Chains A and B, each alone.
Chain A
């Protein structure tokens, strides 16, 4: 049934993504594709996989943005512009429009933990849920003709045949920089909730009224490169040298 469960769900499973830490390596993209092409539902197909016009279904993609402060300049590494790598997958919204627009009941939000899923045996591939999602979290698989989306690795997180350490989403398990975190955002005492509270975690496009579960942690304020310049160009300056170096400095000045 594509009515949303009574809000809030007892648990709100989701991700917290740290934009300060993500290095844009795309390892989560690959591990997501690998796990989910053999896991829940139809495989994630590629079209023209070895040709010039390759494309395919992905549930998690990394965008890269340049952010330029007011009046700032882009001068390579020395300018004020900064690069932010931006992983994006389904946000498992509380008011998920992709669920309510579904005409067949294929799209649903689980009442117990808030995970948004697609029952592929009911999906007619009309694409309306992808239209309704402002975040681009849903992609139609062109081979299977059904809608694919992040399952929050529902086939891992409850999977008792896996070691406990692996019972987290594939992208979180893989991230070499530890930029992705998984947990219950409905529990204020959980690690992810505390992280959100401490770092000022925020929603994407709150104006769309979707109330996303996933949160993003902002990049920390950056020290401008110019501020580090003093120590970086000490090569010409021997002020404050002591002991052997002071003697060597003096001797070399004399000869």
Chain B
């Protein structure tokens, strides 16, 4: 699949945003401190930025509101509805933190649950597609949820260390989630690389009972929408190398930095280390998301010799 930058940016940014909002909703941090107030505002901004960037790849973005209508059958529609509804508890929590300086458990915990549901809907858009065997697994939503949680606790660790309380708790949980997320992703990659293709040129043409089927001529010499959108192959050559880069940047380095922060306990070192951990984690996540699209082989390529 062609990795569209707008979708990669959307899933990375909104995943981090929902993760942060979900962790803030747990009330582990002191809602009256400046850095937690900023975090309460940053989370919705990241989510909104992600949602806006996702509309960039639409052919007719002016009709995007219609995407809220088909929640009964479409995961994309469910995601849109949940994304908007989730803003309600997040805004209430932000209000209580920023204006009143306190944590409201009801709004916080409802917000946490709804953030989780929204990320799950995002993942199910991909996981529900049978035509993309690589994505069509329960590991896909598991990875999305764990990555969102890990990103959320990482960002919360920054807020906690900056405010002086709760940083170490968030950093410790963040380290656990980072490890869990990459273990799940490892399982996802192992499954992908040992897949027996569900569909083949033989089943796609129905000519398998005659013999081995090979594409002789494409419909047209040049590319078309399908081959441009679904025929992306560059990543497969470097997939292993890129996945190692993703694991090191998004897994090993952030965990080391979190350990440094936790051992330091307080002070500027903790803030610098946790900010760097977030930066490396985001970098690793972008590589992971790029591979998520680029490595997935679409069944239609059976008709195009890919």
Contact = CB atoms under 8 A, between A and B. Distances in A.
Given A65-B216, A127-B229, A218 B72 contact: no
Nearest to A100: B73
Nearest to A222: B210
A215 B223 CA distance: 27
A62 interface: yes
Contacts of B303: 63, 86, 88, 135-136
A72 B211 contact: yes
Contact of B59 (A1, A29, A67, A140): A140
A83 interface: yes
Interface string A54-81: 1111100111111111101000000011
A178 interface: no
A105 B300 contact: no
A167 interface: no
Contacts, number: 203
Given A68-B214, A101-B128, A216-B206, A133 B300 contact: yes
Interface stretch (B62-70, B97-105, B178-186, B254-262): B62-70
Given A63-B303, A123-B60, A130-B226, 10 more contacts: A55-B223, A81-B211, A97-B129, A106-B66, A134-B299, A136-B226, A142-B225, A204-B203, A206-B203, A218-B209
A104 interface: yes
Interface in A191-211: 202-209
A135 B131 CA distance: 9
Contacts of B300: 133-136
Contacts of A142: 225
A13 interface: no
A67 B73 contact: no
Nearest to A56: B224
A215 to B, nearest CB: 10
Interface string B186-227: 000000000000110101111101111111111110111110
Interface of B: 1, 57-61, 63-64, 66-70, 72-77, 80, 125, 128-132, 198-199, 201, 203-207, 209-220, 222-226, 229-230, 298-300, 302-304
A186 interface: no
Contact of B70 (A81, A88, A103): A103
B205 A126 contact: no
Nearest to A69: B211
A130 B76 contact: no
B203 to A, nearest CB: 5
Contacts of A56: 224
A131 B69 CA distance: 20
Interface string A222-251: 000000000000000000000000000000
Given A130-B229, A135-B300, A1 B70 contact: yes
A145 B60 CA distance: 6
A204 B217 contact: no
A237 to B, nearest CB: 34
A29 B75 CA distance: 34
Contact of B224 (A19, A135, A139, A216): A139
Taking each of B61, B203, B216, which has the highest tally of chain A beta carbons within 10 Å of its own beta carbon? Answer: B216
Nearest to B73: A100
Please provide the 8 A-B residue pairs with the shortest distance between their CB atoms, ordered closest to farther. Answer: A125-B59, A145-B59, A61-B219, A136-B300, A69-B211, A103-B77, A134-B299, A104-B66
Contacts of A139: 224-226
Nearest to B224: A55
A144 B63 CA distance: 13
A70 B208 CA distance: 10
A25 interface: no
A219 interface: yes
11 contacts: A2-B73, A2-B74, A64-B215, A65-B216, A101-B129, A103-B77, A104-B70, A122-B63, A204-B203, A208-B131, A216-B206
A201 to B, nearest CB: 9
A146 B207 contact: no
A218 B229 CA distance: 30
Contact of A126 (B67, B214, B219): B67
User: Taking each of A62, A65, A145, which has the highest tally of chain B beta carbons within 10 Å of its own beta carbon?
Assistant: A65
